[in-house]
């Protein structure tokens, strides 16, 4: 039908609630912290919820070191997911910064989502770490029993009993973050617990961290895949140069190692290891950016950086101040 000057427009206007507290459309928005033991599948779940590979995932425990934000806006609801490092026993300064990041996300959360690897039954270490982290949580709590594609029924039931006994207010969901089973139902339940309020991000955004962060993380993910033993845990990556006005985009990433001897391991015989790292990382970064990339990798020693407060600060970590170094 052609537009008619006399027709009355009966369409409901799209809400423009971003940052507009005067909007009369009731929107809900809030922070949902994904917490749990290392390797539970928190980052896989974040990626499944957002529909993009935002947070790095590997089979090794302690992959995530810093908070990663993923945004989902559906109809009148905006979920701001905070992926966090695993709840671990912090032994060095890096691990204390990691644990601190998880605990801070819990403090900021409007809703908490505890993610559990249900392929094995609860252990005393699980119980201790989870309960001490959740002790002060007063917001709605959901528990995702993850990996149901692999988890035996007995382990799932043991977890359900444990959660009912220890975290009686929690709502339990069975999911597979890997294949998406149960994730939509979980997301709908989380939406119901969001507080009313205006959207905090534009509706189309899925991430809030800088592109440089994701690029450095993709190199670190590739290091987790290609290197073993202590190397993945001794390395941190930072983007030093990012020139997107040129084609291909020029990106320089510095790979910091803890000891000089690790530099040789990263470079490998005749540079074979660093070449393989560069090729696989570049492919991931190109996919992420949707552009051709020239990736320039540099390996530099930063002595014992995991234990050095100043270095950790330079690399963007926050070590809790009130913590004693001899802890
Ligand atoms: N079978 C199966 N594997 C899963 C599922 N979710 C995650 N995984 C695997 O579990 C491993 C750890 O996943 P991550 O998402 O990195 O776990 P995380 O909790 O973020 O781990 P940290 O960052 O180390 O704390 C990876 O190998 C994932 O592929 C699932 O639903 N089913
Ligand atoms: Mg993770």
Q: What is the pLDDT of residue 170?
A: 98
Q: What is the pLDDT of residue 238?
A: 98
Task: Find out whether the beta carbon of 67 lies less than 6 Å from any atom of ligand 1.
Answer: no
pTM of the model: 0.92
Domains of the chain plus CATH, in order, are 28-192 (3.40.50.300), 211-314 (3.30.300.20)
The model's pLDDT over 203-253, given as tens digits with 9 standing for 90+, comes to 999 999 999 999 999 999 999 999 999 999 999 999 999 999 999 999 999
Task: Find out whether the beta carbon of 99 lies less than 6 Å from any atom of ligand 1.
Answer: no
Residue 183: nearest ligand to its CA?
1
Query: Which mutation among 37, 52, 66, 177 tests ligand 1's pocket best, with the greatest number of atoms within 8 A of CB?
Result: 177
CB contact set of 50 (below 8 Å; sequence gap of 6+): 70, 71, 72, 81, 206, 207
Helices (H), the chain: 42-50, 93-108, 124-134, 153-166, 183-192, 211-226, 231-234, 260-267, 272-289, 309-314
Q: Exposed (0-12), middle (13-18) or buried (19+): which is 272, by Cβ within 10 Å?
A: exposed
Q: What is the pLDDT of residue 23?
A: 52
Strands 236-243 and 249-257 come out as antiparallel
Contact of 236 with 72, CB cutoff 8 Å: no
Q: Using the Cα atoms of residue 181, residue 184, residue 189 and residue 190 in order, give the sign of their dihedral.
A: positive
In this prediction, the residues of the chain whose per-residue pLDDT falls under 50 are 1-9, 13, 15, 17, 325-327
Which atom of ligand 1 is closest in space to residue 39's alpha carbon?
A: 21
Peptide bond into 248 cis (omega under 30): yes
Contact of 223 with 255, CB cutoff 8 Å: yes
What is 11-30 written as a DSSP string?
Answer: SPPPP--TT-TT--S--EEE
Q: What is the pLDDT of residue 321?
A: 85
Contact of 62 with 88, CB cutoff 8 Å: yes
| Phi and psi torsions of 285, nearest 5° | -70, -40
Q: What is the pLDDT of residue 8?
A: 45
Task: Find out whether the beta carbon of 219 lies less than 6 Å from any atom of ligand 1.
Answer: no
Task: Find out whether the beta carbon of 63 lies less than 6 Å from any atom of ligand 1.
Answer: yes
CB contact set of 273 (below 8 Å; sequence gap of 6+): 226, 227, 265, 266, 267
DSSP three-state, residue 195: coil
Q: Which helix (H) or strand (E) holds 241?
A: strand 236-243
Which atom of ligand 1 is closest in space to residue 150's alpha carbon?
A: 1
Residue 254 CB neighbour total at 10 angstroms? 18
Angle between helices 153-166 and 124-134 (to 10 degrees): 40
Q: How many helices, marked H, and strands, marked E, lie in the chain?
A: 10, 9
DSSP three-state, residue 275: helix
């Amino acid at each position: 039908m052609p537009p008619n000057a006399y027709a009355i427009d009966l369409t409901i206007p799209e809400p423009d609630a971003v940052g507009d507290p005067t909007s009369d459309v009731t929107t809900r928005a809030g922070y949902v912290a994904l917490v749990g033991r290392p390797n539970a599948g928190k980052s896989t779940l974040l990626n499944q919820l957002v529909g993009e590979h935002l947070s790095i995932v590997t089979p090794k425990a302690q992959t995530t070191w810093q908070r990663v934000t993923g945004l989902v806006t559906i109809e009148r609801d905006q979920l701001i997911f905070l992926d966090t490092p695993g709840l671990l026993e912090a032994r060095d300064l890096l691990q204390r910064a990691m644990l601190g990041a998880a605990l801070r996300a819990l403090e900021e959360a409007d809703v908490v989502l505890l993610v559990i690897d249900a392929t094995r039954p609860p252990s005393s270490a699980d119980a201790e770490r989870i309960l001490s982290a959740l002790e002060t949580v007063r917001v709605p709590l959901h528990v995702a029993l993850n990996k149901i594609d692999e988890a035996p029924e007995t382990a799932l039931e043991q977890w359900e009993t444990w959660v009912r006994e220890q975290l009686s207010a929690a709502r339990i969901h069975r999911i597979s973050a890997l294949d998406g089973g149960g994730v939509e139902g979980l997301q709908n339940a989380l939406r119901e617990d969001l507080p009313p309020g205006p959207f905090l991000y534009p509706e189309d955004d899925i991430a809030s961290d800088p592109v440089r962060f994701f690029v450095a993380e993709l190199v670190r993910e590739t290091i987790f895949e290609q290197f073993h033993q202590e190397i993945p845990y001794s390395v941190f990556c930072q983007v030093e140069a990012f020139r997107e006005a040129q084609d291909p985009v020029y990106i320089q990433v510095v790979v910091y190692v803890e000891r000089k001897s690790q530099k040789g391991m990263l470079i490998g015989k005749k540079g074979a290891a660093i070449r393989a790292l560069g090729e696989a990382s570049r492919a991931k970064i190109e996919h992420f950016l949707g552009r051709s990339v020239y990736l320039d990798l540099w390996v530099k020693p930063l002595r014992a950086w995991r234990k050095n407060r100043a270095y950790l600060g330079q690399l963007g970590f926050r070590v809790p101040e009130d913590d004693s170094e001899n802890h």
